[in-house]
Structure 1
Amino acid sequence: MKKRETSATFGIIGLGRFGLALVECLSHAEKEVIAIDKDEARVKQARRFTDLAMVVESLDQDSLEEAGIQNCDTVVICIGEQVDVSVLTTMTVLNLNVPHVIAKANSLMHGEVLKRLGAKVVYPEWDMAVRLGKGLIYDNFLDSVALEGNVEVRRIQVSDRLIGVSIREADMRRKYNLNIIAIEHCKRTDVDFPSDYRFQEGDVICVIGQIRNIERFENDIQ
């Protein structure tokens, strides 16, 4: 398959729930998506979102090249249950010199093998469970993005304790070593706000810092 003159092209290998959701999301963002699976029914579902969904019986190098995987900027291997297939497919995609290779893992050991091969590893079930757990523990937790070094960007609903308190008075940098990077208010996101801004009902703050400090802050404002 010849490479098209287009923006980023994505390859999704494995069209279970995780893979199909990725195909849908990327296609809605008008990205070119190559979606492959050996199951014809799954491929048929993917064709609702991309014309480049195809049945590929074998995930060897020749078959992946025929599908055009080598032309992708990013490939996500969404095979978690069959560890051997996941590892071999990841090796094959890396051998095709795809710039960004992401692989789904179902266990830490599985993920460690994929990481050693050179892929970025994601743990969808683990990540979802962690987010759910945080939502159950912290009343104000909305969402988070994990960074290296136990650092997170977290969206936190302003609690009653913070309403009417200014950013200066909250003094989060000194007390918790946290920085506010954005405030969401009235369906608008502000990244440039004065220190005398007073938190209002319905505000959502986006903070960045060490996870332990974020959790200490959330405990204090509940």
Structure 2
Amino acid sequence: MARQRSHDKRVLVIGLGRFGGSLATELVTHGWDVLGMDSMSRRVQAFSEILSHTVIADSTDDEALRQVGAHEFTRAVVAIGSHLEESILTTSLLVDMGVPHIWAKAVNRRHGRILQQIGAHHVVLPEHDMGERVAHLVSGRMLDFIEIEEDFALGKTRAPREIIGKALGESGIRNNYRITVVCIKRHGEQFTYATAETVPQKGDIIMIAGKTKDVEHFAEQD
């Protein structure tokens, strides 16, 4: 069977533990056709009525992957975390099959580097990323924080006094702090795109983008 086009809403999720199970369930609620795969029968049984399809199989077995049609998917998620050898071998097999979009869970950066080296297209470190995110919220004025890639982030914070009442294009914010205000939200309203003419008011929430250290520095301003 020929691999379907990129808008095909089928995804293979390998590993139905806490991360994989949550991810698979969320994908189903968004209208995706999910095949959940795990070597543990109790996990598969737990999701048999939630996911589109489930199967008990060993993902480190090339033949088992081919029997479930893994090579026909355009998207696959390797959500195996605690067993590094299984995670790496499963990812490697999917790469060899030519699956074009592979997400793989890593338990640490070293594991993540190995997954990238063998061909995973996207590496996810859920525990590390969540820990880093919460640390930013606990330790400063940041209301939310997402590191898009290494050393570049989006931050959500309140507009500091320095830019209140000034058009963003005249505030010098980009030259002084090397960040960009992407959008802005007033009390009781939704976020809207920010422009050079946007004038922040007291209490406004802004989304800023830039190098991680610059985003952190700006969010510390009163």
Check whether TM > 0.5: yes
Structure 2 vs 1, CA of residues 172 and 45 (structure 1 numbering), >3 Å: closer, same or farther?
A: farther
Residue equivalent to 1:146:
148
Amino acid in structure 2 at the alignment position of 1:74? R
**Other structure's SS at 2:191 match:** strand
Structure 1: gaps spanning 5 or more residues:
none
Deviation at residue 220 of structure 1 after TM alignment = 1.7
**Identical pairs, percent:** 25
Structure 2: gaps spanning 5 or more residues:
none
Deviation at residue 170 of structure 1 after TM alignment = 4.3
Deviations 1:143-187 (A, max 9, x none): 324235x1112222446x368433436432121011111123334
Deviation at residue 204 of structure 1 after TM alignment = 2.4
Residue equivalent to 2:132:
130
Q: Is the 8 A contact 1:163 1:200 kept in 2?
A: no
Tell me, yes or no, if structure 1 residue 210 matches structure 2 residue 220. Answer: no
Deviations 1:169-210 (A, max 9, x none): 643212101111112333422115452423242x32111111
TM-score (norm 1): 0.87
72-81 or 13-22, which deviates more: 72-81
Amino acid in structure 2 at the alignment position of 1:132? V
Q: Is the 8 A contact 1:155 1:206 kept in 2?
A: yes
Structure 2 vs 1, CA of residues 157 and 62 (structure 1 numbering), >3 Å: closer, same or farther?
A: farther
Deviation at residue 68 of structure 1 after TM alignment = 2.1
Tell me, yes or no, if structure 1 residue 73 matches structure 2 residue 61. Answer: no
TM-score (norm 2): 0.87
Q: How many residues align?
A: 218
Q: Is the 8 A contact 1:167 1:199 kept in 2?
A: no
Q: Is the 8 A contact 1:23 1:46 kept in 2?
A: no
Residue equivalent to 1:197:
199
Residue equivalent to 1:166:
166
Residue equivalent to 2:46:
45
**Other structure's SS at 2:181 match:** strand
Structure 2 vs 1, CA of residues 204 and 65 (structure 1 numbering), >3 Å: closer, same or farther?
A: farther
Residue equivalent to 1:21:
22
Q: Is the 8 A contact 2:13 2:79 kept in 1?
A: yes
Q: Distance in 2 between the 1:163 and 1:180 partners?
A: 11
**Other structure's SS at 2:65 match:** helix
41-50 or 15-24, which deviates more: 41-50
Q: Is the 8 A contact 2:12 2:34 kept in 1?
A: yes
**Root mean square deviation of aligned Cα:** 2.4
**Other structure's SS at 2:157 match:** strand
Q: Distance in 1 between the 2:207 and 2:36 partners?
A: 34
Structure 2 vs 1, CA of residues 69 and 207 (structure 1 numbering), >3 Å: closer, same or farther?
A: same
191-200 or 101-110, which deviates more: 191-200
